[in-house]
């Protein structure tokens, strides 16, 4: 992308980002209109492509922007105090819900990126998602207290299983045409955590944490 984008006033940058996020959230990638994005952002299409050379570049920028915003909002002083693995996951999920409730387009856009398949951006999205998941574990979970866990528990695998469960839950709703309700998903997530604790916690901690 053209670095001159960052010299724009913050309000104008945000207008372009929000317009792109809305259009990409409401449409499959190939049907997302850059004409509509430019119109909603109140800029010319030529100027839009001056800052972002093509639609793919704009899409991937918005994806990384959303990832940065989510991280900045979640990784705060309270986050750093948490030393329990599952407590940290629940805190992170709850903070994400707060962000999604304020901006519904983030949720719709995130789902679109997660299930992008056979599109121009799909390979790049899959690579970035894999890197974000791996990076999250390395950066945040290695500092946690692990004394409650059974010996030999692979926390990387536990984390990935929860991600897969969330993936499967959303995929089932998507295939049935049902909307993804954040409150319902959080309720399911807490059930998964309770179930997972019974599998990986030492017996004495199951009694107090189940």
Assign 9 to helix, strand or coil.
Answer: coil
- What sign does the CA torsion over 2, 35, 10, 69 have? negative
Q: What is the pLDDT of residue 137?
A: 67
- Confidence (pLDDT) at 162: 86
What is residue 154's three-state secondary structure? coil
Write down the pTM of the prediction: 0.75
Domain containing residue 101: CATH number: 1.10.357.10
Question: C-alpha distances in angstroms, 166 versus 24, 28, 180, 200?
Answer: 22, 21, 11, 19
Domain count of the fold of the chain: 1
Query: Do you know the residue count of the chain?
Result: 210
Q: Is 178 helix (H, G, I), strand (E, B) or coil?
A: coil
* Residues of the domain holding 154: 3-209
Question: What is the chain's pLDDT, residue by residue, as a tens digit (210 residues)?
Answer: 889 999 999 999 999 999 999 999 999 888 999 999 999 999 999 999 999 999 999 999 999 998 888 888 888 888 888 889 999 888 888 888 888 777 778 878 877 786 667 788 888 888 887 777 677 667 777 678 889 999 999 888 888 888 788 878 877 877 787 777 778 888 888 999 999 999 999 988 876 554
Report yes or no: 105 and 22 within 8 Å, Cβ to Cβ: yes
Among the listed residues 3, 16, 4, 2, the one whose alpha carbon sits nearest the alpha carbon of residue 45: 16
């Amino acid at each position: 992308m053209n670095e001159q984008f960052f010299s724009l006033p913050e309000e104008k940058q945000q207008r372009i980002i929000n317009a792109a996020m809305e259009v990409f959230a409401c449409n499959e990638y190939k049907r997302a209109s850059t004409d509509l994005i430019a119109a909603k952002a109140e800029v010319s299409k030529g100027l839009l492509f001056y800052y972002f050379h093509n639609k793919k570049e704009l899409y991937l920028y918005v994806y990384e922007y959303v990832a940065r915003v989510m991280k900045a909002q979640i990784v705060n002083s309270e986050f750093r105090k948490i030393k329990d693995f599952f407590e940290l996951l629940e805190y992170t999920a709850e903070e994400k819900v707060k962000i999604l409730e304020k901006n519904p387009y983030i949720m719709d856009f995130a789902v679109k990126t997660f299930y992008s398949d056979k599109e121009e951006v799909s390979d790049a999205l899959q690579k970035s998602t894999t890197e974000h998941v791996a990076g999250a574990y390395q950066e945040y979970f290695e500092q946690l207290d692990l004394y409650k866990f059974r010996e030999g528990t692979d926390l990387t695998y536990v984390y990935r299983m929860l991600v897969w469960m969330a993936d499967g839950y959303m995929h089932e709703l998507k295939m049935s045409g049902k909307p993804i309700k954040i409150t319902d998903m959080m309720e399911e997530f807490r059930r998964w955590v309770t179930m997972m604790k019974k599998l990986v916690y030492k017996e004495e901690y199951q009694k107090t944490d189940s």
